A and B are shown apart, each in its own frame.
Chain A
């Protein structure tokens, strides 16, 4: 009987604790994700590239819900003047301080988060930039390995879709469609 209790108690504890641990492992996050924004016009020698080293990203592996958030003032450009124009003239970052994406990994069921590997996925959701929300669909990758999940995607954002006006004087330097690359290394969220 004592032996039975010794095996019964850990089993009961496992039954109680495992769902809780599984819940905790459902959500993965980072506060140090990266976004690269490239709006260099074709043929222009002047690079219009901004990098953001501190985006927040949360992925719920159970539901496939995916969310990104970035403070616009956190984008960094090589040239100070370009960064000022990006914030003041184009993104109006004081008026619209945040850019965010709220969506879902459409083929979440095909991703085995328990097995290391690279899984191509399609993500759909609402992208809010410059106060304008648009539905977007993008291809990406979820890379499971080393106790982390890397979320990567590159997609195109037409500036006009988000009411970002490009003055004629810089039209030859600035692309009308920006290429956006996201790279987040997600860790399990400890509850």
Chain B
């Protein structure tokens, strides 16, 4: 069970080039990987170095070609049947071997569950720095990567430097970097690399996979209006009411982690530090208390509306508009009034507002 141990400190000057770990999924790239290629391109141009994508997988040649179109100079492909799905040990072995072989100065990962699983194991065996969940990158005067990440639920931003060790590694949050346009005519090299992987590297078996299914509706991270429900909803069926509200507003439904953990709505609707970041024009927090981990995912929204029965709920502190009240009265009332607005536009707003 030997695993590569390597102190990356030696010979820092031998390290060159920027790498992006590419995560494939069902024949395409995960969105965070695409976003990272854009950011990697910007950094590589500033450093004047090539940008390489690394794609471990099986039968991924076409995907590698496609990836180049997003702005890569080359893609390193490691093809092996055991790499068909993400597995901690084989992927760590592949990345460690390639990094020791080619010595990139920067390696970036998407902060997906797999990206964090891989990075965490890898940085320990390589003994080099890894900054998690970065939202911004810069280069300092000495050419070190300035890895900028939220700390304490986004109340502050920490600048992390890895000055002596190489490669400098970081994971990046999803949906903070813009996805670059795809240019199918872009030229780049595909480089096949062999890394020895055997059944001995297979230390865990995937028994079962149940895909989360999204039942139509807009994606919260792309919607202009987000109607988010929390534990205050009390029951999964009440998300139906939020969906109706979201439909009337032309928005999308989302949720707090506690609603997700209760099994009321799939994980992919979760907003917050361990979910997604959203920045809609309006964010409705309904029956959500406003824990820092939740705020981390929505505090940059245009307007924040809070509906909560508890006047002391933390969510009111960052709300533009708050209604202290029972969501089971407020939400149906909103639905009702929005329907009225739809039926008789323009005048109704004043008409309703003047009822006293």
Check if A and B associate: no
